Amino acid sequence: MSTTTPSKAHSNPRLAEISQFVKDGRETLLKRSPHAQPAREWIAEYTNLIDNALRRIYLAAWETVRTEHPEWHYDRGLSEPSAELSLMAIGGYGRGELCPYSDIDLAFVPSEEEHPVIDAVVKEAFRLLVEVFIDGARLELGYAYRPVADIERLDNTGKAALLEGRLIAGSEKMPKRMRDELHEHWDPVEFLLEKAAERKAASRRLDLSLYAIEPHLKEGTGALRDIQTALWVAGAVLQTSEPLKSLEYHGIVTGDDCAQVTAAYDFFIKTRVWLHLISGKKTDVLRLEYQDRAARAFHFTGAGGRASQKFLATYYGHAEIAARFSNKVMRRLLEGPLPLDDHFVATHRRLQAAHPYTLRNHPELLLTPFALARKYGFDFTPELERSIEESLPRLNDQTRKSPIARAAFFSLLQNVPSAADALSELRARGLLQRFIPEFEDMLHLAPGDPSHQLAVGEHSIFAVRTLGELWGQRQNDDSLWAVWDGVDDLQILVLGTLLHDVGKIERGTDHSVSGERIVREIGVRLGLTTDRTELLALLVRRHLLLPRMARLRELSDPGTIREVITLARDVPTLKMLYLLSLADTCAVGELSYSKRDLEAMKELYERTILAMTREETAAVLTDTEKREQLVQRERERLRRELRHLELDEVTLHRISENLPAAYVLNTPLPTIATHLKFLDELPEEKLIVDFYDPPRGGFTEMTLVTYDDPQPGLLSKLCGVMHAAGSDILAAHVYTLRTANLPANTQTKHPEGRDIVLDTLHVVSNGRPVTESRSARIAALLREVLVGEKSIEEVLKAAGKSTCEELMPERISARNDLSDEHTVVTVVTADLPGLLYHITRGFAAIGLDIHTAKITVWGGRAENSFYVTRRSESGRGHKLPNDDISEVLDKLRDRLQRPS
């Protein structure tokens, strides 16, 4: 709402008159002695003053609109100020308890939104309210705009405020319409439970204790809020505007209870009004400094503090009555019977069918009690337990398609933290597999992958449980919070997590592909819209996208990011895929993944989300030429940050400009600094092997610096040494540094024409970082092979290590669209001893250089990706021409099958 300039206000004599009316009336009331009249009379006069001012403002707003807009048509319904719009008092003002410095809370309730006449009146009224009350009288004004159509979307606090609203001006019909709408769309049981928990939490706070030395008259236990809360929930549950009378009428409390709590309420109001007047501000805590004065004002006597002690004793007595009253009301309302819908009621917090044959006659309701129990935290009665069991066979194809059954099922999926418990309960009772028949097969299917510890169906429920844990972790993890933020369809995310492995029930198929088809059928059966069905199918089809890409692809390569963007399609879907992948990966078991796997998947997600949400980065990743812009920016950053190493400008330029692009994008600055030192040491050492355990990495980073061989095969030798030493390579990054591109003072130290290999490998032994003794053995073996001219075959034989002499790959493929600089070759085969040595030896034999190797094992099968080039006469590497790929793969396959 907008306000006008003060000049317009001062030019309006009527507005000035209203402002003066409020100021004069309020000053008169505030000048009275706090002891001169009862608090209720003071409140009544003050409320009447504000009511009169608001009515005059309301009328003035209508007159202004009609004057300024004579061209508008005012039909009969809008010809009078009282038609189709109400100005209502809410909160304490609505209850007629407006204390001297309390907020004045108002609500405009229009019959419809975006009606030009009503909107103009509301805006003008708001302008006048600001001028009179905020700018003029310096009062706190709370303002709400509450179209009837919006009431169902309000939270419980907003609905409670409207429930006790009082009409000040305008249509007399609107308050009734508003209350009817409230009761139509309000869940009084949920409100009752929420308020009971809220007051229980308040009672545990020291500053809100019933027996606090400085009582809180508004929020303290047994104070005003306790009584108000009891009356709010009674009004909601009993659907009445006179809750105290209704509580007595229904026998929930006695007449004596009502009389005692009314007396307590009056005492609190009287004390609060006095405290406001004495302090001259909104003060609700009865501080020690005011207690003796309050005692004497209310005619308590005694010397030496006895008057204030008597006063506090009286307060505590009223507070005890109020607390007991509030607890009694909420406890007895919860005892019920509480109608939860047309078919189920709750008594003593236990759920039961409203009639003996409810489920027998309506099997489509079988899921409803589970949804209600989860929502309210109620248990089942034994009768309902039996009825569910007896009615289970009646859940068939027809009832599965019932909108009632579908709605109940999806309501269980909406609460991510509790979804797994709900699904487990349904599974235990046989309902889940009855409602989704495919889940029966999932429950009874043991996965072929030995890394799994649970059958497929139970693993899927456990993945949903892990998803719930990720939801909880977002509170303390900003990066995880950012992932959840933007996931709009939680139900589809949970359903996709539950059904991500459904394709495994069709043996001999790619379960992601078959799962996509199956969940489309399930989506139609569940009544999903076309868009939601497509989203569910995509989640299932691509649920392995991120973990596979993170393990098998070069994360800094734009081709990797482009493929993820293409397959994930948009940001919300990418976020859902990432969460599903995390839940699925962690649910398999800790033996199936490492911290490095999770970090790699997180890095892939973050790189992709950055490319999808930043236009400049997305543009950079479209082709090789624009990728160089990204590399150049990294080079400039590198040059700036290298300055602290005190290098001269020429050296800075040559290092930052001539290091390989992949190296620039993948290597942290501290690591680059270390590598520069290694380059200086290489001429004397001939071979440098360094080991480092990154914090939380779960692996050892091994760096090898040496002179390049004229022919491909260095990585193969590395793999052979690692096999001989009983260690495994998880990933390898291979960089060739041209000696001519090194700093001038460094060039002269190296043999002419000898390029330098700088390899970084992530290695483990028995799934853990390598020990110091094993590191020493690896370094010694590498020196024997690379400097001492001992063959790798001799080293393997001496270590008693065998290697596969022939290999029958399940699949070999190559693609040029996955990387801007390399051809990506994928080799899928059985996981055998010395496999990586065997494969890399095959690449070397057909003249291919490996720049990056990604190694992973899925269910006893090795799936490895190699980023390769073919070396040209100039010594530089290039992608394989598309026309040559088929021939190269045939040669590689032949070499792997017959290595000799």
pLDDT given for residue 617 in this prediction: 43
Residue 221: left if φ>0, alpha if ψ -120 to 50, beta else—which one?
beta
Over residues 55-82, the mean pLDDT reads: 71
Report whether pLDDT(80) > 60.
no
pLDDT given for residue 445 in this prediction: 87
Q: How far apart are CA 712 and CA 871, in angstroms?
A: 9
Candidate from 445-454, 657-666, 764-773 with smallest mean pLDDT = 657-666
Report whether pLDDT(350) > 70.
yes
Q: How far apart are CA 372 and CA 346, in angstroms?
A: 10
pLDDT given for residue 666 in this prediction: 66
Over residues 335-347, the mean pLDDT reads: 90
pLDDT given for residue 664 in this prediction: 63
* Cα–Cα separations (whole angstroms), residue 479 to 209, 476, 490, 575, 579: 38, 9, 18, 12, 12
pLDDT band for position 499 (cuts 50, 70, 90): very high
Candidate from 430-444, 521-535, 811-825 with smallest mean pLDDT = 811-825
pLDDT given for residue 2 in this prediction: 36
Q: How far apart are CA 532 and CA 581, in angstroms?
A: 19
Over residues 429-442, the mean pLDDT reads: 94
List of residues 6+ apart from 677 with CB closer than 8 A: none
Candidate from 359-368, 410-419, 473-482, 587-596 with smallest mean pLDDT = 587-596
Q: Tens digit of pLDDT for each residue in 855-876?
A: 777 666 788 888 888 877 666 6
Asked if 635 and 653 count as a contact pair (C-beta separation under 8 A), the reply is no
Of the chain, the end-to-end C-alpha distance in Å amounts to 84
Q: Tens digit of pLDDT for each residue in 265-291?
A: 999 999 999 999 999 999 999 999 999
Q: Which SS3 state, helix, strand or coil, does residue 298 take?
A: coil
pLDDT given for residue 648 in this prediction: 58
Candidate from 59-68, 89-98, 709-718, 881-890 with smallest mean pLDDT = 709-718
Helices first, then strands: H and E counts in the chain: 41, 17
**Higher model confidence: residue 669 or residue 642?**
669
**CB contact burial 793-813 (16+ within 10 A = b; e otherwise):** eebbeebebebbeebebeebe
Report whether pLDDT(507) > 60.
yes
Report whether pLDDT(426) > 90.
yes
Candidate from 438-447, 626-635, 822-831 with smallest mean pLDDT = 626-635
Q: Tens digit of pLDDT for each residue in 550-580?
A: 888 888 788 888 899 999 988 999 999 999 9
**Higher model confidence: residue 453 or residue 411?**
411
